[in-house]
Amino acid sequence: MRSLLLLATLSLVACSGGSGAEDVPERSLETLRLASLSVRVDDATLDVSAEAWRSFQPIADAKEQPLMTLVRVRSTGAPLPTSLALDGIYLIRGEEVHATMGREEETRASGARFAEFMVRDGPPWAPGDSIDVVVALKSGGATTLLLRAPRVAITRVD
């Protein structure tokens, strides 16, 4: 199914189920902290932004709600390169790293200039904290690109 989805979307593809943490390559904290804020791929310049929140809305039979993170990869200068695939999302707070695969929940049009990935299984870090969000992208060859969105505030939804 994964290769069919890759062919259908022709770009950043996410795992379709579960947390996917077992599929995410392990990367050192030092490597993740050195991730670029933007990177050039062919005629496109890529960057990443993110929003993170915890919901505290009352829900019957709900256990503690995990951190939710929406990650946006944006391309300027040209559409997203078709040779890119998602290789993991890393949420970093202090010395802690939570590695997971995001999920692209909406189909992107051909020639799109952005892609959104949702992480629904984050750790229960407190609202008011800030995190760095790093997205790993595989290019056509074996090259991995790391993009970082620094100091993303965790908000609270009541």
> What domains are defined for the chain?
2-157 (2.60.40)
What pLDDT score was predicted for residue 8? Answer: 31
Q: How many Cβ atoms are within 10 Å of 25's Cβ, its own excluded?
A: 11
Band of pLDDT at residue 101, cut at 50, 70 and 90: very high
Q: Is the pTM of this model over 0.75?
A: yes
Per DSSP, the residues of 57-80 read ---TT--PPPPEEEEEEEEESSSP
Q: Residue 64 corresponds to which tokens in the numbers above?
A: 């503690």
Average of per-residue pLDDT across 70-87 = 91
Lowest mean pLDDT segment, chosen from 5-9, 48-52, 75-79, 120-124: 5-9
Look-up of token digits 């310049």: 45
Burial grade of 70 (CB within 10 A; 0-12, 13-18, 19 or more) = middle
What pLDDT score was predicted for residue 85? Answer: 85
Does residue 73 contact residue 135 with C-beta atoms inside 8 Å? Answer: yes
Of 144, 113, 147, nearest in space to 39 by CA: 147
What pLDDT score was predicted for residue 21? Answer: 62
What pLDDT score was predicted for residue 100? Answer: 96
Rounded Cα gap, residues 115 and 45, in angstroms: 14
